[in-house]
Amino acid sequence: MTDNVVVKLMQGNEACAEGAIAAGARFFAGYPITPSSEIAEILSSLLPGVGGKFIQMEDEIASIAAVIGASLGGLKSMTATSGPGFSLMQENLGFAAAAEIPCVIVNVQRAGPSTGQPTSPSQGDVMQARWGTHGDHPIIALSPSSVREMFDLTVRAFNLSEKYRTPVIVLADEVVAHMREKVEFPAEQRIPVFERPTPTVPPEWYFPFDNSMEVPPLAPLGEGYRYHVTGLYHDKAGFPTLRPDEITPWFERVFAKIERHLNDIVEVEERMMDDAEIGLVAYGCSARSALAALRLAREQGFKVGMLRLKTVWPFPEREVTRLSRRVDRIIVPEMNRGQIRLEVERVVRGRAEVVGVNRLDGEMITPNQIFEAIKPPVSEDL
């Protein structure tokens, strides 16, 4: 340890728990499920030491409900789950989106559907993260590719959640969650932490869903500000409404607060793109194999670059569009049947060929599988 850096050998789930504490999380409710259980176990030990609260609930439905309640009480709150547990959380995830309640949901993806392979990796929940709950709603989902990013993107998830009053999903996977790496962490005073704005007006003037403000401040319940919270369409005071002149402005605002700040929310990383003729679009654990394939391809003279998605939702349309104007072919490796590939195809609109490299058997995509897709096809002409 130095004055500016702390060096540790740690697991991804451990880094996630440490990131939550560093971001100011003071409440966790969850139910054990592989491969996320270490997050709950570690936070059960860490939270009491910083004045926080940990509770193991009877199931995942109750867990996210408790997280919502704690957030309304003013605490930065989170839960962690996987697979079937994430499915059970979808209704209350929609409630958090509708009521604009900040909270962080960590989904350590495993092979599915159903019980699948609980100890094997997957990236099969990408579309569920976007559309798992019903109705049109904005969502932010982040995808870590390393142990350090489990820390960084957990901190970032809390900051974005508090800043934009929205649930944020950390869409991790079993490989990144359970691997161990030597990690250099910034000293505590260098970690940027966003604190939730609170009202500056008297209680009688306060409207928690005031559409004249992009992100209205959220008053902690129990501190003199009385207001209504519902999953129904609501007016600026939070009470149910059927009036289109109140519903439409609300919808416009909750989407605009995300869409107008894509520069702040969307984060990608480019590798070797200056002269690239082939582009890799990768995220999560598959990005590690993609990077190895990229290095192998460069050694053999192929002009390949990579766009790594740290933010998967909102989808980085502008960045993928720019990529499609620079390369002839885009290869998308992912441990599903092509969930992000479909988004890439939608955005590219035929400007470049899009090729998927997919795997669903609970094993990692290998660098050689990606490299085979990079190599030009062998001509059948004699």
Domain region containing 168? 5-190
Residue 375 sits at φ, ψ, to 5 deg, of -60, 140
For the chain, how many structural domains are there in total?
2
Question: Is the per-residue pLDDT at 378 higher than 70?
Answer: no
- Supply the pTM of this predicted model: 0.96
Sign of torsion, CA 236 238 239 240? positive
Same-domain pairing of 165 and 58: yes
Whether residue 330 contacts residue 344, with contact meaning beta carbons closer than 8 Å, is answered with yes
Amino acid at 378: V
Q: Residue 104 is part of a domain; what is its CATH number?
A: 3.40.50.970
Secondary structure (3-state) at 119: strand
Sign of torsion, CA 119 120 123 126? negative
Strand 329-334 with 167-173, pairing: unpaired
Q: Could you tell me if residue 229 is inside a domain?
A: no
Whether residue 173 contacts residue 109, with contact meaning beta carbons closer than 8 Å, is answered with yes
Each residue's pLDDT tens digit, 16-63: 999 999 999 999 999 999 999 999 999 999 999 999 999 999 999 999
Q: Could you tell me if residue 208 is inside a domain?
A: no
Same-domain pairing of 24 and 134: yes
Q: Residue 368 is part of a domain; what is its CATH number?
A: 3.40.50.920
Each residue's pLDDT tens digit, 352-371: 999 999 999 999 999 999 99
- Which of 140, 167, 190 marks a domain boundary? 190
Q: How confident is the model at residue 298 (pLDDT cuts 50, 70, 90)?
A: very high
Q: Nearest CA to 282 among 329, 331, 318?
A: 331
Q: Could you tell me if residue 257 is inside a domain?
A: no
Same-domain pairing of 186 and 274: no
**Token pair for residue 258?**
């995300």
Same-domain pairing of 147 and 281: no
Q: Any idea which residue has 């161990």 for tokens?
A: 180
- Which of 190, 218, 236 marks a domain boundary? 190
Query: How far is 53 from 280, CA to CA, in rounded Å?
Result: 42
If you write DSSP's letter for every residue of 271-299 in order, what string do you get?
ES-TT-SEEEEE-TTHHHHHHHHHHHHHH
Secondary structure (3-state) at 94: helix
Q: How confident is the model at residue 190 (pLDDT cuts 50, 70, 90)?
A: confident
